[in-house]
Amino acid sequence: MTTTAIAAVLRDSDGKFELEEVELGPLESDELLVKVVGAGLCHTDLLLRDPNFLAQTGPIILGHEGSGIVEAVGSAVRSVEVGDHVLMSFESCGRCRNCLAGSPSYCDEFMSRNLSGRRADLSTSALDRNGNPVANRWFGQSSFATHAIATERNVVVVDKALPLELLGPLGCGLQTGAGSVLNEMKLAAGQSIAVFGAGGVGLSAVMAAKAAGARDIVVVDLVDSRLETAVEVGATRTVRGDAPDLVEAIKNGGRGLDFSFETTAVTSVITTAVSILDTPGKAVLVGGGSGKLDIDPVLLAGKSVTYALEGSSVPQVFLPQLVDLWQRGWFPFDKLVQTYTLDQINQAVEDSLSGKAIKPVLTPAHP
Ligand SMILES: [Zn+2]
Ligand SMILES: [Zn+2]
């Protein structure tokens, strides 16, 4: 069985998406077809504006924070049924040492299964109008489309009473921010954290830190409106990133903070994120890009630094926890969401880059 879908295809690194009709091929045994109702825009989607990246993938359907309704399942799928409401998250193999140990975000095949736009065997199952292949397995889903093909391993079934079109961002950006705090740092009540970058990832870390009972949550950014949003969702203090003595402004006369969370990938900001830590202290980095770690090793005495993928979480365990926190009012991520129809995708990208929208969500089910 094949399915005709409308998808936002990226063919040129100028970053403009075009809506096209694509034919999605038959399901493999572990795959399922999802009618997409919501798909968040995450900064990783914008990596493809780099021509070198796009040259490797070829024409591609992006989108990796999808939510939708299952329309068909492959012959080996057991835990998901037609009609289930699902969130789509990152893909993993389920067989390597780290997957078996409960750390699928550090799967041996993480890069190939999520960032190649293809299945692990490098195949793809979408064809354009001329019969040419289009990469459709970005993070195991490619959800900027009316329909996406995911696998049993990267979907999470959720209650049908939930507002499905809003929940997609839980699958990557929000999971990355909140998971870094709750799973990677294991921040405890009374501890302190500095968050660098008040985008969707940074602000979800703020909400998680507040839910965990952090005493001091300091948010650093250059955009005043984002700092205001940070206070609304739980920051106890904000500091402008261009403050003259930034390290002292963050430490505020104290010993330093227990944790820092760095989302900007700017070299100088990474250095600051380590410099403001108390001893011991832990910096969790998540920003991707050209930033390099440039630090005097002595500065690291008694401290630790790690780069965390996907909040070091198991989506089937962690996403239901986030939904539960949201229902209790402790994780108000919907305050960050702004919805766009699929044909407004280029506007959504523009608004994300300018800072006008913190977490754009496309709604392919609404033409
Ligand atoms: Zn694996
Ligand atoms: Zn992402």
Dihedral pair phi/psi, residue 321, rounded to 5°: -65, -40
Q: What is the pLDDT of residue 288?
A: 79
296 CA distance to ligand 2 middle (Å): 31
In a domain? residue 238: yes
Q: What's the pTM? A: 0.96
244 CA distance to ligand 2 middle (Å): 32
Residue 243 three-state SS? coil
Does position 245 have pLDDT exceeding 80, yes or no? yes
- Closest to 140 in 3D by CA, of 167, 107, 118: 118
Residues 225 and 297 in one domain: yes
Q: What is the pLDDT of residue 355?
A: 86
pLDDT band of 12, cuts 50, 70, 90: confident
Alpha helices by DSSP H, listed for 21-96, are 51-57
Q: Please report, as a single letter, which amino acid is at residue 99.
A: C
Mean pLDDT on 50-59: 88
- Closest to 19 in 3D by CA, of 358, 341, 357: 341
Task: Please spell the DSSP secondary structure of 299-357, one letter per residue.
Answer: GGTTEEEEE-SGGG--HHHHHHHHHHHHHTTS--GGGGEEEE-GGGHHHHHHHHHHTS-
- Retrieve residue 350's tokens: 């523009």
Closest ligand relative to 201 C-alpha: 2
Closest ligand relative to 314 C-alpha: 1
**Count of structural domains within the chain:** 2
pLDDT band of 30, cuts 50, 70, 90: very high
- Closest to 103 in 3D by CA, of 183, 23, 174, 210: 183
- Which residues on adjacent β-strands are paired with residue 324? none
In a domain? residue 250: yes
303 CA distance to ligand 2 middle (Å): 27
Distance CA 66, CA 339 (A): 13
CATH code, domain carrying 237: 3.40.50.720
Closest ligand relative to 175 C-alpha: 2
- Cis-peptide, bond into residue 280, ω within 30° of zero: yes
Residues 99 and 184 in one domain: no
In a domain? residue 98: yes
Share the mean pLDDT of the chain: 95
45 CA distance to ligand 2 middle (Å): 7
CATH code, domain carrying 134: 3.90.180.10
Residues 61 and 149 in one domain: yes
Q: Work out whether strand 337-340 and strand 359-362 pair parallel, antiparallel, or are unpaired.
A: parallel
Query: Could you count the other beta carbons within 10 Å of the beta carbon of residue 231?
Result: 15
Cα three-residue angle 344-354-293, rounded to 5 degrees: 125
Q: Please report, as a single letter, which amino acid is at residue 247.
A: V
Query: Domain containing 120: what range?
Result: 3-171+332-362
pLDDT band of 367, cuts 50, 70, 90: low
98 CA distance to ligand 1 middle (Å): 6
Q: Are 69 and 88 in contact (CB under 8 A)?
A: no
